[in-house]
Amino acid sequence: MAHKYIAGENIQQVIKTIEQLRRQKMTFTVDLLGEAVITEAEALSYLNRYLELMQQLAEASKSWSRVPQIDEAGGESLPSVQVSVKLTAFYSQFDPLDAAGSEERVSDRIRTLLRRARELGAAVHFDMEQYAYKDITIAILKKILTEPEFQSRTDIGVTLQAYLRDTEADLRGWIDWAKQRGVPITIRLVKGAYWDQETIKAIQKDWELPVFSENLRPMLTSSG
């Protein structure tokens, strides 16, 4: 089962897996496992590993044949290399209770990542992670992506978790924000991977469940 979710133990195995996916006309986004950090040395190492990963994938992509079904949309070329990252891995003390401090420490590292991604032609997706980090993550990203250096970028996206009750409102918020920004942003809507954790934590602390407990049919309803 691990092979279904883990592309490989090293970059050579990862590239082989990606090339197999591309032959099936499937796209990909790669993230690094073991992203939990407890020291600033680990946070910097995480950033450097991503810079290296993008470099290696970009080099490999030079030999890939174009596949219109996955490399083009609306008459425009899409980035062949895509990676996913978590903000908590850029700062060992990332905490919503210290929103200003967390923003200050992660923002420069995000800028470094995005600058290098642009040079390499790679797309970057930001994951939302645990519910407690969602709002601060969204706030930090919206602020950075309206800076002049990044405001016109279309190769940046965010991942929203469909099981969260907030996701419809968050999605509509991103749509309104993108209209004001004047440039689209990619939204990846996924089921999510923290349902059990969020449910257990909420029950333990007698909080309202942040996740749907039965099904997702109330999600993303039409407004007419």
Delimit the domains of the chain by residue range: 2-204
Report pLDDT digits (tens) over 197-212: 999 999 999 999 999 9
Report pLDDT digits (tens) over 25-73: 999 999 988 667 889 999 999 999 999 999 999 999 999 999 999 999 8
Query: Left if phi > 0, otherwise alpha if psi is -120 to 50, otherwise beta: which for 108?
Result: alpha
To the question of domain 2-204 being in CATH 1.10.760.10, the answer is: no
Evaluated on CA atoms 180, 182, 188, 194, the torsion sign reads negative
Cα 219 → chain centroid: 21
- 4-8, 187-191, 216-220: least confident range: 216-220
Amino acid at 146: T
Confidence grade of residue 74 (pLDDT, cut at 50, 70, 90):
confident
What tokens were used for 31?
């993230």
DSSP 172: H
Residue with tokens 């749509």: 175
pTM, full prediction: 0.88
